[in-house]
Structure 1
Amino acid sequence: MLKKIVVSGANGKMGREVVRMIAGKDDFELVGAVDVTGVGEDINQLLSLDAPVVRISDDLAETLDQTQADAVIDFTNPTVVMDNIKVTSQKGIDIVVGATGITEVDLEKIEKMSQENGNKVIIAPNFAIGAILMMQFAQQAAKLMDNVEIIELHHDKKIDAPSGTAIKTAELISKNLSKKKGKVEEIEKITGARGGEHDDINIHSVRLPGFVAHQEVIFGGLGQTLTIRHDSINRKSFMPGVELAVRKLDEIEGVVYGLDNLIEI
């Protein structure tokens, strides 16, 4: 069955990869592209794709009305993603969200909207299968090693810190920690030098050109350390996970947070 898809954030780096992925699937069809840049341009022509004309619009609601889409894939940013989720929910259209910055309070609002309107929502801090494995392995390691910190490294255009992946990792690890770390009286010569803290786990964010998306979880024990690291070398690494999420929309109910809830490890 052909699935008609609108990509929100279509002219961004991730959005463009999503458009390319859709073009390569016989049962996916790009019917709309939404972005604040390139308005009026044919996204397929911009990407040199042999596909029907799909002109970029800056109005998601209008695009959904005109296209009769089955689903939206959103790779925008934290400043607009909640508005986009609200629009899709009000129209009863399913959405896969890759934009970061979704908080616990936001999740509660999204769940309420989904219940009221009957649409389905999949939100994933990270769509790379390897990143999901990294988080799962770290969660298991926490059963035996209590001391841990997270370092996440992203490109310099990423506006939120820490990453959604780092926060999700900390939440998963925290479930298996047998004890909270002891408080050591520290002298922080520069505020923030020890990173931020989530669920009693220190998280350090690096933003530099040259990176795409990387994370390492470092466990420390008596006379040993264990490092679990994942690297996304380019944005194609996220596309199998995005495709999986779109296909799983037909099987789920309500809101699913985290790609790990859609795959069996």
Structure 2
Amino acid sequence: MTKIIIAGGFGKLGLAIQQGLVGTNFEIAGILSGHSHESEYLVWTTLDEIDQEADIFLDVSTPATVFDNTMWAIKHDMAVIIGATGLTDEQIAILRDRANHGILIVPNFSLSAVLLMQFSQLAARYFPDVEIIEAHNPKKVDSPSGTAVQTAKLVAEARLDTAQKTNDGPARGQRVADIPVHAVRLPGYIAQQSVYFGGVDEQLTLTQSTTSRAAFVPGVLRALEGVQKINKLEIGLDSIL
């Protein structure tokens, strides 16, 4: 059995992962959480309390803790999957340099989100004018989402230089890689993203959505399998599929 430590294991995604790992070849060695919880698993509230060895450190915690958690996991000779957002480019560069096992940064575990990003890259070659709108629940910490940021970066790499510059203004969204990204935070949403492409007298809209955190579990399982096959830092679930 491959042993896993989960950081953030009592959030909504963490709880879905706990359930999703039952009956698999992955065993939860313990859970790191900012608060104590009653659980069938060992629970630690600080990194210093962790007294179990594991093969993989799976972080779905918060932007405030993810970098320190990952540095700790590297020091303790673990592969790392980062599902929490908030890492800066400078922090990613440090992790890339320090990696001694696989480190997989996953902006979104949803397979439909992975496909949306791939389809968006293809579309950007033909429709360079693009904007992104994403919607999540109000408790989501980061805005725009890590998925939207990664989508914008991938689209920017793929699109032609003929994209028209959209006018700046108070409602034009945040520019990520020179692509306007708009974030919506409303109750009732789990995760939804649309990428809007405009051409001469035609439009293309790509949309994906998830209706429960269970949708992320198949991607988590693929990440757990894939991170053991790499020995450097990779970004995106598609990098190991």
The two structures have a TM-score, normalised by structure 2, of: 0.95
1:252 positional shift: 0.7
**How do 1:236-247 and structure 2 match up within 5 A?**
236-247=214-225
The residue aligned with 2:32 is: 34
The residue aligned with 2:232 is: 254
Structure 2: runs of 5+ lacking an equivalent:
none
* Match status 1:221 vs 2:221: no
Give the AA of the match of 2:10.
Answer: N
> Contact 2:102–2:229 (CA<8 Å) still a contact in 1?
no
1:70 positional shift: 1.1
* Match status 1:170 vs 2:152: yes
Q: Distance in 1 between matches of 2:90 and 2:144?
A: 17
Deviations 1:118-176 (A, max 9, x none): 23211110111111100100100111111110001111001111111111111111112
Deviations 1:150-209 (A, max 9, x none): 0011110011111111111111111121125334655x3xx3x11010111100000111
Give the AA of the match of 1:112.
Answer: D
Structure 1: runs of 5+ lacking an equivalent:
43-52
* SS of corresponding position for 1:217: strand
The residue aligned with 2:44 is: 57
* Match status 1:152 vs 2:134: yes
Give the AA of the match of 1:236.
Answer: A
Give the AA of the match of 1:92.
Answer: D
Q: Distance in 1 between matches of 2:136 and 2:200?
A: 31
1:68 positional shift: 1.4
Q: Distance in 1 between matches of 2:6 and 2:162?
A: 42
| Bigger Cα Rg | 1
The residue aligned with 1:9 is: 8
* Match status 1:92 vs 2:77: yes
> Contact 1:245–1:262 (CA<8 Å) still a contact in 2?
yes
Q: Distance in 1 between matches of 2:167 and 2:232?
A: 45
Q: Distance in 1 between matches of 2:188 and 2:141?
A: 16
> Contact 2:117–2:154 (CA<8 Å) still a contact in 1?
yes
Greater relative contact order (Cα 8 A, min sep 6): structure 1 or 2? 2
The residue aligned with 1:124 is: 106
**1:209 to 1:146, Cα distance in 2 relative to 1, 3 A:** same
Give the AA of the match of 1:99.
Answer: A
Q: Distance in 1 between matches of 2:167 and 2:71?
A: 45
Q: Distance in 2 between matches of 1:185 and 1:100?
A: 29
* SS of corresponding position for 1:158: coil
- Superposed CA RMSD in Å reads 1.4
**1:20 to 1:85, Cα distance in 2 relative to 1, 3 A:** same
The two structures have a TM-score, normalised by structure 1, of: 0.87
Q: Distance in 2 between matches of 1:94 and 1:238?
A: 20
Give the AA of the match of 2:79.
Answer: D
| Percent of aligned positions that are identical | 35
